[in-house]
């Protein structure tokens, strides 16, 4: 597998420097020109790809070199870029920030190097002039293998300030400055949080996207940006593709996938791997009162924010009863984060209001004011289960504002989790159900798909 698609990484000197605003604006401006743009996001993030998808009308994908190796990451990039004219890869945090401070593993810098992608670096120029050159020079020299091909300066005081910064950067570093954003003039995207996603998907932010496109057209040299993208070198995958015809293993089963405003965080590759092995995906909306499809052989309940829709969910008595019945009857089920919360006995919101949920998991969920967990997770199964054999591992990430409180002793935890905070037990296990806060990334261990589909075939025969 290989590709020569034009591509650019939009990186930043740090978080909050304006990467997402610039990325969305450039995407919107290029789409206005009739260019088919494919978006990507470095790292495990569901929110920013939702913006990309809304603007480009193509499903944005995550690129990560911690959850999978570099060859699989490149394969995901090549597959995702098929049919596009140009790819834009939005970075994460600061350019060199990754899993730890001693390497670039998992960083935007590593992704740009592995994909032979030129980089447009976004810097905050507020209160500086020549000092901006020192900032860019440091990023240029940090790793000579990386091609920082352009700079955009954000938060400038006006055109004269921009000219001072531009001259300094280009004189000291030789890197062209291709545009600027004036402080407080360009509208920033709203604060990114879970509850914003439905607004994006309903099109409520389309006027904002068009405003951003107009500002980008005025202040960024898009022709130069495209020329930078066209200088990207070929990307080659040096292994047998993970996503290929798998005729020796086909599982003709139906996976019911809950998808609506309450449950919608799914890695595209998770669903595509299921399809690669012969499964058919059938979506349904619990929030809209839809029960599990009658022909379903397995159930997937992804992340989201059921707490935002707790009152509506608890009112869907028929849906709750159906979930309880189907899972109790042995339907192979995987629930992650928001799905995990939905299967507990109750969700308690910030004000202390309690909402009854499915009740198949003996626990309750208490919402927190602060972020309760964030970061990469490595999972080791504590026993044989729907997705993993005992001792088998997988990788994923965690992000939530809630705390789970078991309501029984000897809660049947599903796996050991290793993260930056150490090791701890998490998840819930029954013979046909595995649920937990971690969002699993199936490409990190495709055996998860095989195990699950084999269980689905067994259930199909029984029913």
Residue with tokens 């597959």: 79
* CA–CA gap between residue 9 and residue 23 (Å, rounded): 9
First to last CA, the chain: 41
Buried b or exposed e, range 34-63, using 16+ CB within 10 angstroms: ebebbbbbbbbbbbbbbbbbbbbebebbbb
* CA–CA gap between residue 108 and residue 97 (Å, rounded): 7
DSSP 454: H
From the list 105, 125, 113, 68, the residue with the least C-alpha distance to 89 is 113
Is 337 an annotated catalytic residue? yes
* CA–CA gap between residue 3 and residue 87 (Å, rounded): 11
Contact 113, 66 (CB under 8 A): no
From the list 93, 164, 178, the residue with the least C-alpha distance to 128 is 164
* CA–CA gap between residue 446 and residue 29 (Å, rounded): 38
Sign of CA dihedral 422, 92, 260, 352: positive
Provide the 10 A C-beta neighbour count for residue 217.
Answer: 15
The 3-state DSSP class for residue 351 equals coil
Provide the 10 A C-beta neighbour count for residue 295.
Answer: 12
Contact 67, 376 (CB under 8 A): yes
According to DSSP, the β-strands at 254-258 and 373-381 are unpaired
Provide the 10 A C-beta neighbour count for residue 391.
Answer: 11
- Rounded to the nearest 5 degrees, what angle is found at the Cα of 74, between the Cα atoms of 70 and 78? 175
**Which of 148, 149, 337, 433 is labelled catalytic?**
337
Write out the E strands in 44-83. Answer: 61-63
Which residues are marked as active site? 337
């Amino acid at each position: 597998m290989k590709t020569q698609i034009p591509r650019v990484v939009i990186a930043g000197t740090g978080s909050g420097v304006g990467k997402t605003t610039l990325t969305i604006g450039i995407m919107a401006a290029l789409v206005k020109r009739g260019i088919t743009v494919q978006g990507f996001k470095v790292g495990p993030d569901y929110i920013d790809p939702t913006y990309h998808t809304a603007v480009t009308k193509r499903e944005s994908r995550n690129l990560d070199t911690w959850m999978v190796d570099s060859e699989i990451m490149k394969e995901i990039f090549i597959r995702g870029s098929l049919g596009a004219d140009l790819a834009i890869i939005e970075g994460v945090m600061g350019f060199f920030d990754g899993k730890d401070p001693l390497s670039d593993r998992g960083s935007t810098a590593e992704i740009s190097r592995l994909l032979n992608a030129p980089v447009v670096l976004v810097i905050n120029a507020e209160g500086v002039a020549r000092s901006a050159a020192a900032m860019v020079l440091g990023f240029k020299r940090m790793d000579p293998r990386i091609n920082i091909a352009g700079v955009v300066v954000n938060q400038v005081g006006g055109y004269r300030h921009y000219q001072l910064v531009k001259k300094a950067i280009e004189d000291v570093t030789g890197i062209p400055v291709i545009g600027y954003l004036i402080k407080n003039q360009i509208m920033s995207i709203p604060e990114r949080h879970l509850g914003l996603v439905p607004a994006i998907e309903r099109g409520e932010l389309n006027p904002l996207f068009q405003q951003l496109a107009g500002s980008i057209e005025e202040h960024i040299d898009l022709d130069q940006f495209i020329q930078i993208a066209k200088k990207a070198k070929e990307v080659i995958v040096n292994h047998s593709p993970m996503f290929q015809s798998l005729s020796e293993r086909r599982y003709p089963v139906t996976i019911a996938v809950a998808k609506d405003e309450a449950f919608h965080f799914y890695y595209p590759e998770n669903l595509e791997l299921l399809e690669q092995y012969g499964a058919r995906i059938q979506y349904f909306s619990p929030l809209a009162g839809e029960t599990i499809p009658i022909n379903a052989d397995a159930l997937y309940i992804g992340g989201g924010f059921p707490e935002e829709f707790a009152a509506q969910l608890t009112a869907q008595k028929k849906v709750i009863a159906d979930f309880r019945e189907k899972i109790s009857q042995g339907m192979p089920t995987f629930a992650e984060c928001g799905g995990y919360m939905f299967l507990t006995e109750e969700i308690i919101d910030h004000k202390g209001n309690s909402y009854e949920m499915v009740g198949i998991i003996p626990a309750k969920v208490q919402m927190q004011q602060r972020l309760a967990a964030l970061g990469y997770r490595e999972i080791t199964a504590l026993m044989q289960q729907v997705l993993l054999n005992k001792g088998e591992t997988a990788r994923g990430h965690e992000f939530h504002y809630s705390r789970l409180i078991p309501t029984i002793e000897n809660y049947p935890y599903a796996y050991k989790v290793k993260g930056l905070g150490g090791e701890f037990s998490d998840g819930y296990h029954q013979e046909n159900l595995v649920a937990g806060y971690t969002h699993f990334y199936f490409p990190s261990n495709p055996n998860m798909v095989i195990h699950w589909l084999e269980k689905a075939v067994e259930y199909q025969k029984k029913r």
